[in-house]
């Protein structure tokens, strides 16, 4: 490693203080509180909207797909803004999100199986 | 207490000496744990979805099952679970505000917001216990099992009226017709166990309900315990001495994950 070129950087952050004592960079997030409360109102509005439309007589399939879509939107807001995944590095973000492609695949095959064994019990 | 450090930054990201992801190992492994936990919950929910599709014609409608609200006598579908969702979102907000206070190194702020998060967690666990109690106890007159195996339910209807839920259609019977169905019934079921439940003719509905909301409820309970431990540390000034509040952030990640899972449980158990 010693042949790496090194340069001096002024970084804001902290040392973890454990045996690894890693340095973790900290970034100022402007309007942090504003973003938190905005996320809260969005989540609340979506939840109220979901409960409200569950009492209407809209087509059942349309309703179910709306619920699934809104759930993914809600999950996105929680993961991106509450868990701050949006502000993590690109590589880390997709290390976390990538494996869920497997779950999408599992959903597709398992639900198809469920519908198949209903017709052919 | 934030430190400005002059560190040597290697030019090669993966050459060692720095964290390429710029997250500490502790936080990274909390994320990896949450990914694995998300896989567990996904598997449970996918199993639920698969068997729900298998028994779609007899699967109970959530609006006919979760109808109770504290201190209100009558039929209030989904209101209480709506409140539970609000409570969990609210406690997520107080948690993220605790994390934000930690970034500002405000010990007092962390104590206030973390304490509120613990309160929100207790309200949720209590609500779930209440919800389970009513689910297990069931309605006053329960369900009648007809000769052909169909379930005629009485919940939320006037005395003497029953309804049959089949193929996503509700048929209500009253008067002599209802009496005739009740008199030929082979069994009267109250509430829910793992073997049978009054909500529908498949025990799977109650089994999945107990298993998945129970597993989630246990996560909430562990989250509350973790938050209390962190809160005691904050009050004792552990993180003032350490100089950073990363531990609050890690507990926060876990707590938001619990909220995240609830978003899915809420949709697939109570809305769809």
- Of the spans A87-96, A112-121, B76-85, B222-231, which averages the highest pLDDT? B222-231
CA distances from B59 to B80, B111, B137 (A): 21, 45, 19
Please determine, for the modelled complex, whether the ipTM score is greater than 0.85: yes
Contact at CB, B96 and A67, closer than 8 angstroms: no
- With vertex at residue B258, the alpha carbon angle to CA B253 and CA B259, rounded to the nearest 5 degrees, is 95
Q: Tell me the chain A residues in contact with residue B7 when contact means C-beta distances shorter than 8 Å.
A: 9, 11, 23
The pLDDT of residue A107 is 95
Q: Which of B86, B103, B246 sits opposite A44 (nearest CB)?
A: B86
CA distance B40 to chain A (A): 10
Q: For chain B, positions 70-89, list CB contacts with chain A under 8 A.
A: 77-79, 82, 85-86, 89
Each of the 272 residues of chain B gets a pLDDT tens digit; together they read 445 555 555 566 676 666 778 888 889 999 999 999 999 999 999 999 999 999 999 999 888 888 888 887 777 788 899 999 999 999 999 999 999 999 999 999 999 999 999 999 999 999 999 999 999 998 888 899 998 888 999 887 777 888 999 888 888 998 888 888 888 889 999 999 999 999 988 999 999 999 999 999 999 999 999 999 999 999 999 999 999 999 999 999 999 999 999 999 999 999 98
Neighbour-count burial of B65, counting CB atoms closer than 10 A to its CB (0-12 exposed, 13-18 middle, 19+ buried): buried
**CA neighbours closer than 13 Å in the CB half-sphere of residue B60:** 27
pTM of the model: 0.90
CA distances from B56 to A24, B46, B50, B232, B270 (A): 51, 15, 10, 48, 15
The pLDDT of residue B77 is 82
**With an 8 Å Cβ cutoff, is A119 touching chain B?**
no
Neighbour-count burial of A15, counting CB atoms closer than 10 A to its CB (0-12 exposed, 13-18 middle, 19+ buried): middle
Q: A24 pLDDT exceeds 90? A: no
CB proximity list for A101: less than 8 A, separation 6 or greater: none
Collapsing DSSP to helix, strand or coil, B190 comes out as coil
Confidence band of A9 (pLDDT split at 50, 70, 90): low
Contact at CB, B21 and A95, closer than 8 angstroms: yes
Minimum CA–CA partner of B8 in chain A: A8
CB proximity list for A36: less than 8 A, separation 6 or greater: A81, A82, B93, B96, B97, B100
CA atoms of B212 and B202, how far apart (whole Å)? 16
């Amino acid at each position: 490693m010693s042949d790496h070129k090194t340069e001096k950087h002024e970084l804001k952050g902290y040392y973890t203080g454990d045996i690894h004592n890693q340095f973790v960079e900290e970034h100022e997030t402007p309007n942090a509180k504003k973003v938190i409360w905005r996320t809260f109102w969005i989540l609340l509005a979506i939840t109220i909207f979901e409960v409200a439309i569950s009492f209407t007589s809209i087509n059942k399939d349309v309703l179910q797909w709306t619920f699934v879509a809104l759930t993914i939107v809600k999950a996105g807001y929680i993961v991106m803004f509450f868990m701050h995944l949006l502000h993590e590095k690109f590589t880390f973000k997709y290390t976390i999100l990538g494996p869920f492609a497997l779950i999408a695949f599992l959903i597709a095959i398992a639900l198809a199986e469920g519908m198949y064994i209903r017709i052919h019990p | 207490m934030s430190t400005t450090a002059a560190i040597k930054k290697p030019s090669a990201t993966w050459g060692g000496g720095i964290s390429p992801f710029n997250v500490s190992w502790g936080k990274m492994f909390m994320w990896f744990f949450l990914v694995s936990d998300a896989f567990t919950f996904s598997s449970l929910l996918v199993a639920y979805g698969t068997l729900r599709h298998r028994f779609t014609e007899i699967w109970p409608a959530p609006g006919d099952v979760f109808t109770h609200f504290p201190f209100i006598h009558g039929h209030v579908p989904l209101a209480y679970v709506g409140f539970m969702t609000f409570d969990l979102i609210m406690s997520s907000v107080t948690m993220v505000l605790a994390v934000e206070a930690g970034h500002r190194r405000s010990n007092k702020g962390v104590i206030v917001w973390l304490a509120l998060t613990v309160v929100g967690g207790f309200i949720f666990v209590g609500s779930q216990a209440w919800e389970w109690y009513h689910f297990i106890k069931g309605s006053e007159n329960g369900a009648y099992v007809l000769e052909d195996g169909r379930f005629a339910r009485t919940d939320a209807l006037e005395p003497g009226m029953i309804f049959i839920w089949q193929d996503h259609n509700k048929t209500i019977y009253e008067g002599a017709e209802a009496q005739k169905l009740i008199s030929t019934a082979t069994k009267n079921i109250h509430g829910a166990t793992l073997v049978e439940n009054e909500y529908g003719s498949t025990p799977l509905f109650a089994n999945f309900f107990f298993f998945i909301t129970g597993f989630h409820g246990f996560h909430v309970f562990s989250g509350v315990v973790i938050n209390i431990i962190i809160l005691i540390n904050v009050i004792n000034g552990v993180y003032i001495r350490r100089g950073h509040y990363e531990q609050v952030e890690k507990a926060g990640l876990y707590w938001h994950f619990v909220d995240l899972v609830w978003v899915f449980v809420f949709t697939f158990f109570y809305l769809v």
